Amino acid sequence: MSIIVCDHCSYKKLCGIEYHGVENMRLRKEISESYGVLHAVHECCMTLGISSKAKNPTKDGVDLGKNICLIDLCSGKAITAALCGALDEDESNNYFLAIDKMLPHTMPHFLNTNKIQYLCRDIMAKEMFAEMKDIVEYQTLQGRTCILVGMHLCGLLSERAIDFFDQIIGLRGLVLSPCCLPKKHEQRKISFTKGKPLDGEEK
């Protein structure tokens, strides 16, 4: 699929000085994986009826839409948000929020612009539900459709993303790409209940 092919224009832009902090990564691999996520986001928006296939797709092969708030959980160096910024049109009203535990001073310089923000947070913290709810409510009032993204979320982190999507009404879509199941000793901490056997039922 062309969506996975890294466009040289995007690659070159993400290597620029304003993206300090990402140029030493396995950038082509990261961009390729982010393209896959953004393709899934676009498909999600089509399903929701808020986007359609572009008649003239961008040279990078992905259409971000016009009124999207993309929330990237455990974003790492926020390559997905960086790619969104590189592809996005100025008049789109899109907003991209990256969330991770990494300290802000270790993050690339492109973050914290009008369209791309970074929050240093532990998504497993109890207070994150209230904060996430406030974020989603505010972005919805700005006319944006909120889509939650989780790429390479290990174990309980994927379960947390599902909990956010299940409990926060304003989240309209979830693109989840987990990398592993919860470890055996973590399974007792799982709070998400849909599809889980009730006590006494066979697993």
What are 9-46's pLDDT values in tens digits? 666 666 665 565 555 556 677 778 888 888 899 888 88
SS3 call for 99 = strand
Question: pTM, whole model, 2 decimals?
Answer: 0.77
pLDDT value of residue 156: 82
Question: C-alpha distances in angstroms, 7 versus 27, 38, 102?
Answer: 12, 14, 28
DSSP state of 42: H
Q: Which residue has the higher pLDDT, 74 or 112?
A: 74
Q: Please check the confidence at residue 128 and state whether its pLDDT lies above 80.
A: yes
Question: C-alpha distances in angstroms, 37 versus 4, 87, 189?
Answer: 10, 14, 28
Name the CA radius of gyration of the chain, rounded: 17
